[in-house]
């Protein structure tokens, strides 16, 4: 009886070891596929943002319909968010303020209180520094509002310092599938 138990235990241990190896191999396959997917997405973005728009521009085209029924359209885009660089951020905010985006700029005042100081947090913000609390003011702009502002300025042919603000603009190929296909 003890031999049967030992044999059974050994069989279970062997199954467990095979399963552990299978998990490791599966995770390695997943990692490899994720790396391949990352590479494919990078290649696709390069084709859509650089190569195809440049070639279509050389041909004087902004859209083309393929034999597959797919349509390729070249569209302008802007992406990014207000720069986090502390050396460029004040200049970016100043430029935005002076160029029609002052209403987009939000001021945030933040103070940390301990749990026992809860009632003090309700005092006026103007008094915080006078009372010795380390208050910090932070100006920000919601990313979607900033992108909409930049798109509008660019659409109107106005120059904006994209890099200084923290944005990137370009053209991209948008692929539209024929109805019923992906």
pLDDT at 108: 76
Give, as one character, the DSSP assignment of residue 53: H
How would residue 138 be classed by pLDDT, with cut points 50, 70 and 90? low
Higher pLDDT residue, 35 or 117? 35
pLDDT at 116: 73
Domain positions in the chain:
1-60, 62-85+142-182
pLDDT in tens, 127-137: 777 878 766 66
CA distances from 135 to 74, 87, 94, 108, 125 (A): 47, 21, 22, 10, 8
pLDDT at 74: 95
How would residue 155 be classed by pLDDT, with cut points 50, 70 and 90? very high
Strand extents, DSSP E, the chain? 63-65, 71-80, 106-110, 136-140, 167-176
Give CA angle at 60 (55, 63), nearest 5°. 80
Residue 25, helix vs strand vs coil: helix
pTM value is 0.59
pLDDT at 29: 98
pLDDT at 32: 98
Average pLDDT over residues 102-114: 77
pLDDT at 52: 95
Higher pLDDT residue, 10 or 68? 68
CB-based contact 72:64 (threshold 8 Å): yes
């Amino acid at each position: 009886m003890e031999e049967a138990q030992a044999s059974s235990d050994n069989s279970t241990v062997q199954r467990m070891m095979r399963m552990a190896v299978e998990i490791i191999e599966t995770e390695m396959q997943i990692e490899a596929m994720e790396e391949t997917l990352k590479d494919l997405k990078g290649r696709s973005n390069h084709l859509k943002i650089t190569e195809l728009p440049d070639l279509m521009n050389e041909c004087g085209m902004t859209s083309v319909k393929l034999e597959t029924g797919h349509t390729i359209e070249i569209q302008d885009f802007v992406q990014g968010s207000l720069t986090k660089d502390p050396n460029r951020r004040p200049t970016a905010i100043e430029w935005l303020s002076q160029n029609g985006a002052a209403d987009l700029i939000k001021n945030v005042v933040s103070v940390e209180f301990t749990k026992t100081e809860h009632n003090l947090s309700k005092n006026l913000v103007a008094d915080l520094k006078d009372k010795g609390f380390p208050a910090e003011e932070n100006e920000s702009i919601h990313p979607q509002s900033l992108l909409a502002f930049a798109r509008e300025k660019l659409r109107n042919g106005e120059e904006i310092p994209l890099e200084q603000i923290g944005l990137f603009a370009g053209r991209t190929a948008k692929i539209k599938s024929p109805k019923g296909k992906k």
